[in-house]
Amino acid sequence: MGLNALLNQLYAKIKFEITCWLFYNKKKRAEEDWVNFLKSLERARKIIGDEAYRIAEKYNTKRRVKWLKNHKKEIEEIASTCSDPAELIIKVFYEGYLGCKFSGEEKDSALIKKERIGNSTILHFICGNECPILEYSTKLGIDNLPICKNVYERGAEVFLNVLMNLTCKKCEVAYTRDYHSLRPRKLFCHEKVTVSCKNE
């Protein structure tokens, strides 16, 4: 690889780092912000490959952890009323952070299956909540699957594990999606959350 190509990659990486820092540190993000971010991600990916996803993932994860810390008092109050980690995950992550609705006329998400295997509980969710990645990537003709998998999956898992730590739940959480059922391919996104708790 020539010097010009290396400099081009370095410039693209620094520029995208700045873009991500600005985007993920905004309190409120409008359509223009999402569109510009997704376009920047696509441009960066063409030059620096999967490194673009890793950069965005880093800033997304930081934003999620910051949200938890900023809402610590509210989360502790919610945790005091929850009988198990599954209820806490629904109230804080799905309803509080993602804006999913599990009841009422506007219901768009559900816990469809709950399995118990040893010390682990496997929660199967379907989600149809408003999702800016889905909305704006569709408008731009960008495949949302690699973005959801490479930028947002780890951030969700980190969020859930920090949530457990903040509320003194002695549990570890693993999070993944069924990417064959990811919107807009299917009507709902299918997600699996495995909560493994230590015996007291």
Number of domains in the chain: 1
Per-residue pLDDT, 69: 96
Per-residue pLDDT, 200: 52
Helix (H, G, I), strand (E, B) or coil at 128: coil
Question: From first to last of its 200 residues, what are the pLDDT tens digits of the chain?
Answer: 688 889 999 999 999 999 999 999 999 999 999 999 999 999 999 999 999 999 999 999 999 999 999 999 999 999 999 888 999 999 999 999 999 999 999 999 999 999 999 989 999 999 999 999 999 999 999 999 999 999 999 999 999 999 999 998 889 999 999 999 999 999 999 999 999 988 65
Q: Are 91 and 82 in contact (CB under 8 A)?
A: yes
pTM: 0.95
Per-residue pLDDT, 83: 83
List, in sequence order, every beta strand (DSSP E) within 52-188.
109-117, 120-127, 171-178
Rounded Cα gap, residues 29 and 32, in angstroms: 8
CB-based contacts of 30-37 (< 8 A; 24+ apart in sequence): 31/136, 34/132, 34/133, 34/135, 34/136, 35/136, 35/139, 35/140
Helix (H, G, I), strand (E, B) or coil at 185: coil
Per-residue pLDDT, 4: 87
Rounded Cα gap, residues 145 and 148, in angstroms: 5
Can you give the residue range of the structural domain that contains 182? 3-197
Per-residue pLDDT, 108: 98
Q: State the first-to-last Cα distance of the chain, in angstroms, to the nearest integer.
A: 56
- Which token pair is 108? 């768009």
- Which token pair is 164? 């457990």
